[in-house]
Amino acid sequence: MEKLNLKIVSNPIISNNLAIIRDKNTDSEKFSSALKRIAYALFYEASNNLPLVDVNIETPVANANCSVFDKDMQLIVAPILRAGLIFQEIAQKLFPFANIHHIGMYRDEKTLEPVWYYDKRKEIKKDKNKVYVMILDPMLATGNSSVYSIENFINKGVLEQNITFISLIASLQGIENVNSKFPNVKIITASLDEKLNYKGYIVPGLGDAGDRIFNTLD
């Protein structure tokens, strides 16, 4: 594998909140709050490739040259159900103009093909150079659902280099899976963990993110 298209976002706030999230004794409410605090940092990083235009703003004192998001841009935020929903609220705060396209799929055990049970993606109507996609899933484990989601956006006309995959914790296997097929898709994460276990869980990870967010542990 060539150089990975990967950014691990790291700072003391993220480290402190990752410890809260990983702790098996953290309840759903605290888990979700800590995850959202990290989400801000991931989205700030992900915003780096979004187009800006120059504007001149009048301050109470003088004129200032500023940069604002290009209004011609279409930003699609795509949370993968169900754990990806935790990132949605933060994305909507930071990018109130974004289109939210929920996606849900699983792999058929027999055919090994993805089965889409929920797909709110729309046709891309704008100039494709100005269409950006952020796919959200806190856990990038095997990378299979990530690959299917990316593939589907590319089939709809989105440019590979305009797609960013945002996760909280990623495995090397998952990153290599995505990067080997889509080297121009940037992966942003807060942690690169050791490995996957036989059930496909990230180790050390945090367990099942959906169960921990939605309080559906046994």
Q: Which residues are catalytic?
A: 107, 111, 208, 211
- Tell me how many degrees the CA angle 191-32-47 measures, rounded to the nearest 5: 55
- β-pair type (103-107, 114-119): antiparallel
Binding mask 135-154 for ligand URA (x = CB under 6 A): ----x-x-------------
Extract the tokens encoding 132. Answer: 């950006």
Cβ distance to ligand URA smaller for residue 157 or 200: 200
Q: What radius of gyration, in Å, describes the C-alpha atoms of the chain?
A: 18
Per-residue binding string, ligand URA, 80-99, x by CB under 6 A, is ---x----------------
Q: Which stretch binds ligand URA (CB under 6 A): 40-48, 55-63, 182-190, 198-206?
A: 198-206
Q: Which is nearer to ligand URA, 44 or 106 (CB)?
A: 106
Q: Please state the three-class secondary structure of 106-170 as a single string.
A: EECCCCCCEEEEEECCCCCCCCHHHEEEEEECCEECCCHHHHHHHHHHHHCCCCHHHEEEECCEE
Size of the site for ligand URA (CB under 6 A): 10
Judged by CB under 6 A, which of 119, 160, 176, 208 binds ligand URA? 208
Positions in the binding site for ligand URA (CB under 6 A): 83, 139, 141, 200-202, 205, 208-210
